[in-house]
Amino acid sequence: MKELIIKENEAGQRFDKYLAKVLKEAPKSFFYKMLRKKNITLNGKKATGNEKLLEGDTVKFFLSDETFEKFAGNTQVPRAYCHLDVVYEDKDIIIINKPAGMLSQPADDGQPSLVEYVTGYLLKKGELTEEQLKTFRPSVCNRLDRNTSGLVCAGKSLAGLQFLSGIFHDRSLHKYYLCLVKGRLEKGEHIKGYLHKNKKTNKVTVSEKQFEDSLPIETGYRPLGSNGRVTLLEVELITGRTHQIRAHLGSIGHPLLGDAKYGDRDFNRAYTKFGVRNQLLHAYKLEIPQTGQTFLAKVPQLFESILNEEHLEGSYYENLEISVGVCQNDHPGSGDRNCGQ
């Protein structure tokens, strides 16, 4: 007989969903058969599987050790270790300034992603155990392209995952990016269009008119400074589609600096000597109205170097100071926590 006590991160879910995590190699028919025969019980009583679990509930498995181990499996949850630039953290969520080049979520190429790094980070801190990983896994709740840097949110607990998933799904939070684009833009705009993704090429097409399988997109932008050759933009991502910022700005004749997929090859070539190989796009600010918090992340060193080269560093730092000031003024005494600096 094996006995398990429901922890905080396991509470709130259906009993059969929990069993599917504990005995992940077993067919669902096995769960229901064992429940009917009272070989699996909840708080000492017969259960149907649709009960909602509460913290402190007791689950007993009247199974042989061999059967339990067979269906539980022994696959280790992937994890990886590296330094993470943590902008904010509490018991439920963690917000990280992801570097360009790191995957947000696992891909088929087998390279570690931020999900594995967060798992390793929490294991190393002792906030997560191997036993807890059998029924709960921390997860990233927003995705950035591999070569886009900036703020990524992850849930450390079930409550954190539910909160973050909710605000990303209903688009109640505000996401802002910084990028350098070709040419001069002198006034802010709110642009709309339709985006179609080619799954074979992993490339999108933007049109002003709707066409088959296209999705509506909205992008807002505000110029922070320009030298005529390039413009530093603050972009608000209103809808979050694949490659939206890169393709949308490219479609209006202002492609991102360094963007090989949607950019201008000749324009990009002039910056390869400075080490620019990918788009200079950085998710630098998140506003969460539900909590009144604003989080900021400084641009990477390469981005900052190009700003200095183009004499646009003043525009960048002026905007950053304004953002920090607003954050601190709105939340007296908690500037560092909310601003992530």
Q: Residue holding tokens 């004499």?
A: 311
Q: How far is CA 192 from the centre of its chain?
A: 24
Q: How far is CA 241 from the centre of its chain?
A: 13
Q: What is the pLDDT of residue 329?
A: 43
Question: Which has the closest alpha carbon to 102: 89, 88, 92, 116?
Answer: 116
What CA–CA distances, in Å, run from 54 to 10, 15, 91, 156, 273?
8, 10, 19, 19, 59
Q: Is 298 exposed, middle or buried (0-12, 13-18, 19+ CB in 10 A)?
A: buried
Could you list the pLDDT tens digit for every one of the 341 residues in the chain? 899 999 888 898 999 999 999 998 999 899 999 999 999 999 999 999 999 999 999 999 999 988 998 898 866 788 999 999 999 999 999 999 999 999 998 887 778 999 999 999 999 999 998 888 888 899 999 999 999 999 999 999 989 999 999 999 888 899 999 999 999 999 999 999 999 999 889 899 999 999 888 999 999 999 999 999 999 999 999 998 999 999 999 999 999 999 999 999 999 999 999 999 999 999 999 999 888 999 999 999 999 999 999 999 999 999 988 887 656 544 333 333 345 43
Beta-carbon count within 10 A of 257 CB: 26
Question: Which has the closest alpha carbon to 230: 269, 188, 194, 182?
Answer: 182
Q: Report the C-alpha gap between 187 and 245 in whole angstroms.
A: 17
What structural domains does the chain harbor? Answer: 2-72 (3.10.290.10), 86-169 (3.30.2350.10), 174-339 (3.30.2350.10)
Q: What is the pLDDT of residue 193?
A: 94
